[in-house]
Amino acid sequence: MIPSRLEHKTVELRLRHAWTISRNSSREKRNVLTRLRHAGFEGWGEAAPNPRYGEDAESVSAALQALAPELPDDPGRLDAILDRVETALPSSPSARAAVDIALHDWAGRMSGQPLYRLLGTDPGRTPATAQSIGIDAIPVMQEKVREAGDVPVLKIKVGLKDDRAILEGIRAVTGKPLWVDANEGWADPEQAVEMIRWMQGMGVVLVEQPMPAADLEGARLVRGRVDLPLFADEAAVSPADVPRLLGAYDGINVKLQKSGGLRAARRMIDAARESGLKVMLGCMIETSIGITAAAHLSPLADLADLDGHLLIENDPFDGVQVRDGLIILPDRPGLGVAGEW
């Protein structure tokens, strides 16, 4: 058998606006793309490393460099390969995702089937996606709301300071339902309860990661005193986290780059379902490779926040389309992503 080849390269992505959340701010993002070649077909993947989970482009590249010669020759043995990748890279979830996505893309292209058919998901049941509005000067945040067009729901980043002024500023320009994501920014449960109650009056319908991920007791306390559903993001990294979240959260935000790819994300979705937790499918700032991979899984989610590629000015690829918040899956084989790798 001809050995398969796994290559990788770093891409510099320019963002349309500076991207600011409670813990950091950036104008560019460095992701790592993968390409698997075997038997005349290619599979493309992507790692969107996040310092919150201990990764950057260098650590991901080093992990992939070490892994590539160890990969079995037949990429069709997807489960066996992913088992091996999980063992080899336990603390590099986005590097695992980059391999997982490339293997799935290759399998789809090899069999001539779009990925949703391989996954058994229904392209007619994709949820609408929210669009995220990063923290900025209020007039800039208002401009981002206008740029979001007809998306049905906005996810507003908060958790720095001036959260009330931000919500008032957003409300001045839109009547849409709002989700807020504090990215662990409210350290004190009392402050979180007060803020969430006030925000409910401002038309907020969902709150993501109000408290630090480790503070499950605080989240339980807050949840008992507010009416809005609380979603875990930073507290929900892998399927093993799910049972601990019961009682503290109403739902989880599943991301391929946190859990380690499509297979792990699906396991996390299944774990959430078994526990009665709602599922949001989210993303990092990723090109159309990573976002399209998640989009193929999105019919399994209740809610979606798959707008990471829309924040990028120089996305080298074209895949899933988002029209007024509606996720439209490509029909081409594999991910269905086009462009120059």
Q: Which residues pair with residue 254 across a beta bridge?
A: 281
Is residue 181 part of the contact set for Mg ion (CB under 5 A)? yes
Size of the site for Mg ion (CB under 5 A): 3
**Interaction of residue 184 with Mg ion, rule CB under 5 A:** no
Smaller CB separation from Mg ion, 271 or 283: 283
Phi, psi of 181 (to 5 degrees): -125, 110
Q: Give the whole-angstrom CA distance, residue 225 versus residue 232.
A: 17
Beta bridge partners of 312: 15
Shorter beta-carbon distance to Mg ion: residue 25 or 65: 25
229 C-beta neighbours (distance < 10 Å), count: 16
Q: How many CB atoms lie within 10 A of CB 128?
A: 16
Q: Which secondary-structure segment (H or E) carries 116? A: helix 115-119
Name the residue with the smallest CB distance to Mg ion: 233
Phi, psi dihedrals of residue 205, rounded to the nearest 5°? -115, -5
Binding mask 202-241 for Mg ion (x = CB under 5 A): ------x------------------------x--------
Query: How far is Cα 205 from Cα 120, in angstroms, rounded to an integer?
Result: 31
Residue 286 binds to Mg ion (criterion: CB under 5 A): no
Token representation of residue 231: 């979603």
The residue range among 32-40, 135-143, 173-181, 328-336 that interacts with Mg ion, by the rule CB under 5 A, is 173-181
Pick 75 or 159: Cβ nearer Mg ion: 159
Site track 33-62 with Mg ion (rule: CB under 5 A), x = hit: ------------------------------
In angstroms, what is the minimal distance from the CB of 208 to Mg ion?
Answer: 5
Longest dimension (CA), the chain: 64
Report if residue 305 touches Mg ion, rule: CB under 5 A.
no
Q: Interface residues with Mg ion (CB under 5 A)?
A: 181, 208, 233
